[in-house]
A = this chain, B = another copy of it.
Amino acid sequence: STAATGTPGTVKLAVIPGDGIGQEVTAEALKVLAVAAPAGVTFEQTRYDLGAERYLATGEVLPDSVLAEIREHDAILLGAVGGKPNDPNLPPGILERGLLLRLRFELDHYVNLRPSRIYPGTASPLSAETLGSEPVDFVVVREGTEGPYTGNGGALRVGTPHEVATEVSVNTAFGVERVVRDAFARAQRRPRKKLTLVHKTNVLVHAGSVWWRITQEVAREFPEVTVDYMHVDATMIHLTTNPSRFDVIVTDNLFGDIVTDLAAAITGGIGLAASGNVNPDRTTPSMFEPVHGSAPDIAGQQIADPTAAILSAALLLDHLGHTEAAGVIERAVIDDLAERTPGATRSTPEVGDAIAKRVGG
């Protein structure tokens, strides 16, 4: 993972298809990746069967030895993890925290990158009047290693009428600064050069102060970037009434989780939302995954839309410096979306094949 970016050679790719539709969509992402690989670039894949199935069979979530192996790769492609809701053998959160979040935390994926675009021809639940004529094209930079996701907190007198349960959001100047700086750098590279800090500074004053202060401080290094601030609750309103106003949003781990699902919903649905769990310092492999979950209710039917996984593969290529190949995938997706017939359904492999064909042609 310390290899120079954008050069020919072998990319060591760890593949974690996960559970449910994770398996199905990952197959399509790999199909497209194989066709999109630039000349001289080979993907050497290692498949890791991690997720609900492995846990239920063996009690293992992410053995240390497996994590050590994964760490030696150049990048990770992940499908989705999560078992059936309310499975009594799956304690809530065990996979999410033991696998998905453990990877994000151990590999220090402090930039959780979630681009949000309404591609031409994509259906949005928002009315045409709401959308207007300005393009919707923003990216959410969600902090990935702190906030309410640290697992800090605990519970006392569990299961009794006197139970007290706490969750501690941990925010460090170090952690906030690096993600805010990354978000500013991205804003600087975009035509509109606009950054919106989303938080809840009027209530969460301790965490809010550090986010606010550091955003003001880093802003001085990026005089061309316009900065504004929005409360997370008000962000709900602006995203649903005027989403084109956003360019780069930077926010904490939990607000980012919420905001990006709303962003996905209004930009054509979770079937299209890609994400990267990025370590911009490149000291560990970054991980790319669709925003959607394992959808046990539709698993095994090959009806899930693999587009989000395919766009995640494009983010992976982009992160590895293969910007052009990433662009080819994105254009293939745009063309495919433009020709989708509303109401018509294609199977998961049909969508993958169609996009792979465009990439190859």
Instruction: Check if A340 is an interface residue, CB within 8 A of chain B.
Output: no
Contact A164 to B159, CB < 8 A, known contacts A127-B125, A262-B240: no
Nearest B residue to A208 via CB reads B92
CB distance A201 to B233 under 8 Å?
no
CB distance A203 to B265 under 8 Å?
no
Interface string of A245-260 (1 = CB under 8 A from B): 0000000001001101
Nearest B residue to A291 via CB reads B233
| A8 shortest CB reach to chain B, Å | 39
Q: Which of A234-272 contact B (CB under 8 A)?
A: 234, 236-237, 240-241, 254, 257-258, 260-262, 264-266, 269-270
Q: Indicate how many identical chains form the complex.
A: 2
CB distance A232 to B258 under 8 Å?
yes
| A150 shortest CB reach to chain B, Å | 10
Chain A's interface size range is 35 or more
Contact A200 to B257, CB < 8 A, known contacts A205-B93, A213-B159: yes
- Per DSSP, chain A at the interface is mixed
Task: Specify which chain B residues have a CB less than 8 angstroms from the CB of A234 in the assembled complex.
Answer: 261
CB distance A203 to B236 under 8 Å?
no
CB distance A202 to B262 under 8 Å?
no
CB distance B168 to A204 under 8 Å?
no
* Bound form: Cα–Cα A38–B236 in Å: 38
Nearest B residue to A228 via CB reads B85
Q: Which of A127, A149, A213, A234 has the most CB of B within 10 A?
A: A127
